[in-house]
Structure 1
Amino acid sequence: MTRKQSVEQLIYNTLKSAILSRKLAPGNQLVETAISNQLNVSRTPIRNAIRKLSAEGLVNNIPNKGAFVVNPTRDEIIQAYNLRKELEIIAVRDAITYLTENDYKRMEQSIKDENIALENKHLMNYLESNKVFHMIIAERSENKYLVEFIEKLINQTNIYLILFDSFFEELSTTPKSPIGHALIISLLKKKDLPGLKETLTLHYQFAIESLALTDRVYQNVDELF
């Protein structure tokens, strides 16, 4: 690995870790000159690192303004969850006759993995287990566009959870996701589409309500390096 690659990876890892651990505030500008002065490096590796973060949905690159930690409005978050809900209702409808016993076993295992992650307060493991559950259903819809859009929305809403979910703060309530997932499996086995639509609607309503869009203490970019 070259020095340029090493510096670029350092910047990428440091910024990503700071965003995921909620040290950098949503909307915080990633000022290239500040990072460049702190590390005594050119802007090229900084721009490359920021470009990677932008591709992952963690940073917004705004022409003529700069790069900012993603900072969705409450309306944008609700829109993302509502669209995800509608697409997953379609996926459930299309997948319900194609789900196998092995699919159900995998979904049940993902619930166990979710509970372990919640017990250990390991956010990334929780998000991965949650994604596995929903993608099993989406993939059984046999609609590649639906699978693609649902996965994109899962990744985006996961970022919102990383930035704002209240469970991983002290004194918060336990997420209802594993209980909701168990109910979804039961309704799928019964092929109860009206029940599934109602349950998915509540599932995402609870997800939105779990977001704590409150004031926090954050760091500045120049304090990271």
Structure 2
Amino acid sequence: MGRLQNPAGKASPAVVDTEADDIGKEEPRKGRLRLDAVKSIRKMIFSGELAPGERLREVALSEELGMSRTPIREAFRTLAGEGLIDLLPNRSVIVSVPDKSEAADVFTVLGALEALAGQLATQRMSLEQIEILGELHADLAHYFETANRLAYLEANRLIHEYIVEASDSPSLVLAWRLLLPRAERARHVTTLDHDRWAEAFQEHCEIYAAIVARDEARLKQLLESHFANGVESLKKSEARKRATERAEIYAGRSG
């Protein structure tokens, strides 16, 4: 996209309204602060620094992030829309507790969207775009080999985003972005299982190879199974959790 230019030959105004100029600068600044707050709090939730069910306090977060309470409050509304936090009737705010069944449904729908995006991307990606995707994949491999989980998840997000954007379908991209925050949280859960993490990385290797070969049918199948395997991982994680809870109950009764 080209850089926006001022109309050619347009003279600068002789008088500058400094108050209006200050207001114009203030509004973008407020928007940036809100986005910064959203990104920071979202990262804290994804990393587990803010645990499910934990109460969020405006004052503490504003001090930690070095900003006023207003962008924090606005960030809460955005994050609530993403399903990452709950705004309770008593005006308190807590980190939402993930619903595994909902996460599985989100993965299923997202898988269908990305499978379609992948098919379109293999038709439309330029050689330069495929080369950039290769660089992202190399980053993913490095973070997997060094067991840098958070960096791996960010590289993973960038790869999925790059493929969807390469579909060059605004409607598809919009639908994908609406579901993305919920899916990202589920991804952070599945990578806690090292076996699933290794499987997911291998799947990414095959996905990249299919894009390079411009094999639409193969890519569609790989992306669908990639998300289906994520759903199965979530189900196994929930089953292990229930088994642990039962074991604790039995141990307590026998003690």
Structure 1 and Structure 2 fold alike (TM over 0.5): yes
Of residues 138, 141, 147, the one that matches 1:115 is 141
1:87, CA displacement in angstroms?
0.8
Structure 2 counterpart of 1:55 = 78
Say if 1:75 and 1:186 are closer, same or farther in 2 by CA, change over 3 A.
same
Of residues 191, 216, 221, the one that matches 1:198 is 221
Q: State the identity as a percent.
A: 21
Q: Is 1:98 aligned to 2:128, yes or no?
A: no
Of residues 120, 145, 162, the one that matches 2:171 is 145
| 2:55–2:94 Cα contact (<8 Å) kept | yes
- When the two chains are superposed, the root-mean-square deviation of aligned CA atoms in Å is 3.6
| 2:119–2:220 Cα contact (<8 Å) kept | no
Q: TM-score, normalised by structure 2?
A: 0.62
Q: Secondary structure at the match of 1:176?
A: helix
1:146, CA displacement in angstroms?
1.3
Q: Which has the higher helix share?
A: 2
Say if 1:60 and 1:50 are closer, same or farther in 2 by CA, change over 3 A.
farther
1:54, CA displacement in angstroms?
4.6
User: What is the distance in 2 between the residues matched to 1:184 and 1:12?
Assistant: 31
Structure ID, larger Rg: 2
Which of 172-181 and 135-144 deviates more? 172-181
User: What is the distance in 2 between the residues matched to 1:13 and 1:157?
Assistant: 16
Structure 2 counterpart of 1:66 = 92
Q: TM-score, normalised by structure 1?
A: 0.69
Q: Which has the higher contact order (CA 8 A, sep 6+)?
A: 1
1:62, CA displacement in angstroms?
3.7
| 1:108–1:182 Cα contact (<8 Å) kept | no
The gaps in structure 1 that reach 5 residues or longer are 1-10, 40-44, 217-225
Structure 2 counterpart of 1:129 = 155
Q: Please give the residue correspondences for 1:159-170 in structure 2 after superposition, counting only pairs within 5 Å.
A: 159-162=185-188, 164-167=189-192
| 2:111–2:228 Cα contact (<8 Å) kept | no
Structure 2 counterpart of 1:8 = none
Paired amino acid for 2:172: L
Which of 125-134 and 74-83 deviates more? 125-134
Paired amino acid for 1:182: C
Structure 2 counterpart of 1:26 = 52
* Residues matched between the structures, number: 197
Structure 1 counterpart of 2:109 = 83
Q: Secondary structure at the match of 2:228?
A: helix
